[in-house]
Amino acid sequence: VASGKRTLRAMDDDDLRWPTIGRDPGNDYRVFRTAFLRSRHPRSGAEKRFSLIECDDWVNVIALTPADDVVLLRQYRAGNDRIMLEIPGGMIDRGEAPDVAAARELREETGYAATTWRPLGRVSPNPALFANTLHSFLALDATQVGPPSPDAGEVLSVETVPLAEVTAMLRDGRIDHALVIAAFHHLMLATGDALRRP
């Protein structure tokens, strides 16, 4: 039985990487496009074809009111055919800065605005298939400044929930959207919590 750091860490990045030798277009689905990579492993010479999904970058926002309520959305998601409880977010427009997109999505989807913004972190939503990045932001002292103005065809319900109740929702699965969880995870790490042995 192999053990020890030397055996386990044998491979460096050049052993792991599959350099691209060709790229073929797939199909355009408007909200995403498919593509194919042809890759060859430098050590083995093996060739492999990867199917990819191309998508613009995404943002999402944890917006806290002065009372420490979180601004949440309920909306129908066709992917899993469920009404999901989420935080505001969406696609970054071409050429738009992530923080500008975050403020825009918060305003459009909920009618809320905030003056104090902090970046929470960036994640790869699914690097096996997607090239894109999700940028998460924290908005403090958020207040409703007008009605929501969702995109045509977006039907959204806005509700505010105390931060402590959101923890319960994350724990019991009422909030189970992985990209929403990623944002709250960064908030939790930013406030100092750490992993412990269960």
Compute the distance between CA of residue 62 and CA of residue 71 in angstroms, rounded to an integer.
Answer: 7
Asked whether position 51 contacts its own copies by CB under 8 A, the answer is yes
Asked whether position 151 contacts its own copies by CB under 8 A, the answer is no
Compute the distance between CA of residue 42 and CA of residue 155 in angstroms, rounded to an integer.
Answer: 50
DSSP 8-state symbol, 107: H
Strand ranges across the sheet with 82-86: 82-86, 69-77, 156-162
**What is the smallest separation between the CB atom of 126 and its own copies, expressed in angstroms?**
6
Asked whether position 167 contacts its own copies by CB under 8 A, the answer is yes
Instruction: Write the CA distances from 49 to 22, 65, 119, 146, 191, integer angstroms.
Output: 9, 48, 36, 49, 42
Helix (H, G, I), strand (E, B) or coil at 182: helix
Q: Based on CB atoms, which residue is closest to its own copies, 44 or 97?
A: 44
**Tokens in use for 85?**
């409880």
Asked whether position 178 contacts its own copies by CB under 8 A, the answer is yes
Asked whether position 27 contacts its own copies by CB under 8 A, the answer is yes
Asked whether position 157 contacts its own copies by CB under 8 A, the answer is yes
Asked whether position 196 contacts its own copies by CB under 8 A, the answer is yes
Q: Based on CB atoms, which residue is closest to its own copies, 11 or 95?
A: 11
Among 21, 97, 100, 164, binds its own copies (CB under 8 A): 164
Q: Based on CB atoms, which residue is closest to its own copies, 50 or 104?
A: 50
What residues between 65 and 124 interact with its own copies by CB under 8 A? Answer: 68, 74-84, 111, 118, 121-124
Q: What is the CB neighbour count within 10 angstroms for residue 146?
A: 10
Asked whether position 2 contacts its own copies by CB under 8 A, the answer is yes
DSSP 8-state symbol, 130: B
